[in-house]
Amino acid sequence: MPHRSLHAAAILLLVILKEQTSSPASLSGSEWTYSGPDGETSWSKNYPSCGGLLQSPIDLHSDILQYDASLVPLDFQGYNVSANEQFSLTNNGHSVKLKLPPAMHIQGLPSRYSATQLHLHWGNQNNPHGSEHTVGGKHFAAELHIVHYNSDLYPDASAASNESEGLAVLAVLIEMGSFNPSYDKIFSHLQEVKYEGQEVLIPGFSIEELLPERPAEYYRYKGSLTTPPCHPTVLWTVFRNPVQISQEQLLALETDLYCTRENDSSPREMINNFRHVQKFDERLVYISFRQDLTYTGLSLGIILSVALAGILGICIVLAVSIWLFRRKKRSAGSQIPLAQASFERRWRCVYQPCCHC
């Protein structure tokens, strides 16, 4: 009997260990941070993919953009969650994360992608430029990521995260502007998840309200997770148009949260939790919209230079034309008195023969 008990205990221990090693938490592996000894420049030591190919985020600039008419508007199914339901909001030590139900999914991609969570990236109050993606080298104040996994092929996000196109992320660029009541449904609870590991249930709301105007306009490319383990398995959709939050809302995001636990003797503020842009060699970003100011890869500067040169040329042609017209008019005017004097002399010779002509 004791042998059976020991055998059962051993089996139970193996099961527990297996569950722990296969849990989503194992994806983060050893400790990592955004700065210091375990910061971004050291990620590739423990996570080789972070130093590999197809890394994100990137700078979205005109030289790599190509219009693709096949990029259709996405359909956001189940995004409107009733206030009677609840979301779990947590501080995971790297960001504030909202867990999403798998019934929430995207249509319009090659497979069905079901939602798993959303989180944010930001800077600090002295340098409020914490978006991960940039546009033409420009940082935005913050960035929202809504993470989905390929639910046609995989049972959950953990299983999909290391598979080709296993994940699809919607990225919303955030700029400072007017107060945003939809984002405040998250920001008003930040004080309740101030420290790592804290969790609170909040009322459900429409996640679609967090998206920008004209969501049919977006950038699309294949990239990676922007945090370790940096698996290059993400189909990115970065919306072209940003959303606005107020200065007070952004300040709450930059000052309310800590990377450390409540009783930690060395508390660390949760700031600058964004990865810098990565190399984007020999890749294209496809866009669902036609560019307004950039055509066939020409930069805005070149287009403006050509336009100014054209305007200057027109002005020169007009100035020369006016000068020639006035000169001709003056020349014609000076010939009229001479003609009149010649006529008078001829008249005197005919009708006054005593005069010497």
Q: What does pLDDT average to in each consecutive run of 10 residues of the chain (357 residues)?
A: 49 40 38 94 97 97 96 97 96 98 96 98 97 98 98 97 96 98 98 98 98 98 98 98 98 98 96 97 92 49 59 76 73 56 52 51
- Residue 306 burial (C-beta neighbours within 10 Å; 0-12, 13-18, 19+): exposed
Please list the active-site residues. 94
Reported pTM: 0.76
Evaluate the CA torsion angle 28, 226, 116, 121 in order and state its sign. Answer: positive
Cα distances (angstroms) measured from residue 157 to each of 152, 265, 341: 12, 34, 103
Helix (H) or strand (E) holding 243: strand 243-245
CA–CA separation, 102 and 342 (whole Å): 103
Is the sign of the CA dihedral 336, 340, 341, 346 positive or negative?
positive
- How far apart, in whole angstroms, are the C-alpha atoms of residue 332 and residue 316? 24
Question: Structural domains in the chain?
Answer: 59-287 (3.10.200.10)
pLDDT value for 54: 96
Identify the pLDDT of residue 347: 42
Contacts with 311 (C-beta within 8 Å, 6 or more apart), sequence order: none
* Residues facing 117 on adjacent strands: 99, 147
CA distances 86 to 1, 145, 146, 169, 184, Å, are 47, 20, 17, 22, 16
Buried b (16+ CB within 10 A) or exposed e, 37-71: ebebeebeeebebbeeebbbbbbbbbebbeeeeeb
DSSP assignments along 108-160, one per residue: SSSS-EEEEEEEEEE-BTTB----SSEETTBPPSEEEEEEEEETTT-SSHHHH
Structure tokens at 346: 């001829």
Two tokens, residue 146:
């809504």
- For residue 211, CA distances in Å to 2, 10, 74, 139, 257 come to 61, 50, 12, 18, 24
